[in-house]
Structure 1
């Protein structure tokens, strides 16, 4: 079984491989949703969780999810704490990992990882996200093995933390390449004002 073999191989070189491919990520705003650049590349390593000076995770174990899937184990091995459900459609799996949490145990410094048949295809955001901030993901829809959609909060400077005044919807396709699968966002995202009547 894939996950058993993976866990048996974790000591030593496996973790060093991930440590050597750390991607510097910092929580940022959602301005990337208005651009058209793809940050995902085929054959890329899974980003390693950031080493934070302060962590609230020890107070939030009730929201953790234990690894059950091969893809879960890959994300956990890169230093992430699993959060929320895994989404699966055929060979495609979507997993959420967080590096911190706020006082209400909402995910902070979190990222969403996409896999195809166990191979890493990319992330849903080029930067880490914090709950209740601009660009934070609040929903994922995995329609088919090669197509998914994600929804992100869009805050203006005057918005209260509870209520972003807008949201962005972004479609992604998954393309097969010689180097492996790659997640391709259809940027720029579609953004709507939540205060306007539908």
Structure 2
């Protein structure tokens, strides 16, 4: 029962309402968020093929915060974009995951204010690092009547790394652009 309640709470928090607000959750000189602990140990042990080893110092910082690295990193100049997860679902898709941005080795912020879950509103579709300090991401948008397989839309958000108080901070340009699928 507790596991079901925890999953339900996670799904509520995973909604994409934040994509419609003009709020930045990233702050200059912020600490890397700690990965959430998964009740019952999670499914990561069954999905080792989806993990990648640390190759950058920033990877090691994420691992020290409890995250498991997944997918390819993107690097352009001083900007690194790294996806990390705390768990994987039954199909080994990242679960309780986020995308972390670093500038000159300093944590700049995350793409989402909350951990994301596959097949939920606000979950990541793709992220593209276009040039140093500038990237964009597309997120799934589900309506109440959408099947889990098929979100009815998506939202694209542009991000820019700006300097505040001599620290890099990732700034989303919200609200995002809604796209119909």
2:87 is aligned, of 83, 91, 100, to 100
TM-score (norm 2): 0.91
Partner of 1:180: 167
2:152 is aligned, of 149, 165, 169, to 165
2:20 is aligned, of 23, 34, 38, to 34
Partner of 2:37: 51
Mapping of 1:1-198 within 5 angstroms?
A: 26=10, 27-54=13-40, 55-194=42-181
Q: Using the TM superposition, give the Cα deviation of residue 157 of structure 1 relative to its aligned residue in structure 2, in angstroms.
A: 1.4
SS in 2 for 1:33: helix
Q: Which has the higher strand share?
A: 2
- 2:87 and 2:95 in contact (8 A); partners too: yes
- 2:14 and 2:123 in contact (8 A); partners too: no
Gaps of 5+ in 1: 1-25
Q: Using the TM superposition, give the Cα deviation of residue 179 of structure 1 relative to its aligned residue in structure 2, in angstroms.
A: 4.0
Gaps of 5+ in 2: 1-9
